[in-house]
Amino acid sequence: MFTGIVTDIGQVRRIERRGDMRARIATRYDMKTVDIGASIACDGVCLTVVEKGDDWFAVDASAETLSKTNLGRWAEGTRVNLERALRVGDELGGHIVSGHVDGVAEVVAMKAEGDSTRVTLRAPAGLARFIAPKGSVALNGTSLTVNEVSGNSFGINLIPHTKTVTNWGAVAVGDLVNLEIDTLARYVARLHEVAAIG
């Protein structure tokens, strides 16, 4: 489990493709405190540490993960939002995030609003119904509040702090970002479906 509060921006150092993909990611985390087998959310995708060094760790992404996320677009130099797994007693600053990405959303518009940036995204049709105004979404592993929804499109606001401490400062129109819908929204929708059937 994660909270969607990014705690480091890593950088992809090396990519190996062989059916699955292995990525080596540079980090500022103290790797002495990270065990092999630990979970780290990488752009919102829960991945397992399979190797590590003093200032890096390696993860494997399966073909299934690559088909559902934007990780297949990673290259050497890609900046990656990182979050270590939630521990009992940690502050829950964002919302409960599983790291199980549901799909990708496309950035379709960006505009300045004061010091903030308003971003409009298009969600896959099958996921749009789970996104509600003032609800939460995780985008590239960042817990964000939905401002408005119109069909398959929805808007968020990025404050300057978020753009500084995540990779959102480099996002542009046309980019694909990892989308995880709020778990609560998923269960409410499922209960509604079951009630309609029964």
- Exposure of 92 in the CB half-sphere (CA atoms within 13 A): 7
pLDDT score recorded for residue 18: 82
Q: Which fold has domain 8-84?
A: Elongation Factor Tu (Ef-tu); domain 3 (2.40.30)
pLDDT score recorded for residue 108: 98
Q: For residues 2 and 150, what is the distance between their CA atoms, to the nearest angstrom?
A: 28
Mean pLDDT of 72-91: 91
73 pLDDT above the threshold of 90 = yes
Amino acid at 36: I
Mean pLDDT of 106-114: 97
Please, what is the average pLDDT of the chain?
93
67 pLDDT above the threshold of 90 = yes
pLDDT digit string (tens) for 111-123? 999 999 999 999 9
Domains 8-84 and 103-197 in one fold = yes
pLDDT score recorded for residue 23: 98
pLDDT digit string (tens) for 131-158? 999 999 999 999 999 999 999 999 999 9
172 pLDDT above the threshold of 70 = yes
198 pLDDT above the threshold of 70 = no
Q: For residues 59 and 36, what is the distance between their CA atoms, to the nearest angstrom?
A: 10
Entry pTM:
0.92
Residue ranges per structural domain of the chain? 8-84, 103-197
Is the separation of the CB atoms in 44 and 182 below 8 Å?
Answer: no
| Options 1.20.1250.20, 2.40.30.20, 3.30.950.10, 1.10.8.590; CATH of 103-197 | 2.40.30.20
Q: Taking the CA atoms of the chain, what radius of gyration do you get in angstroms?
A: 17
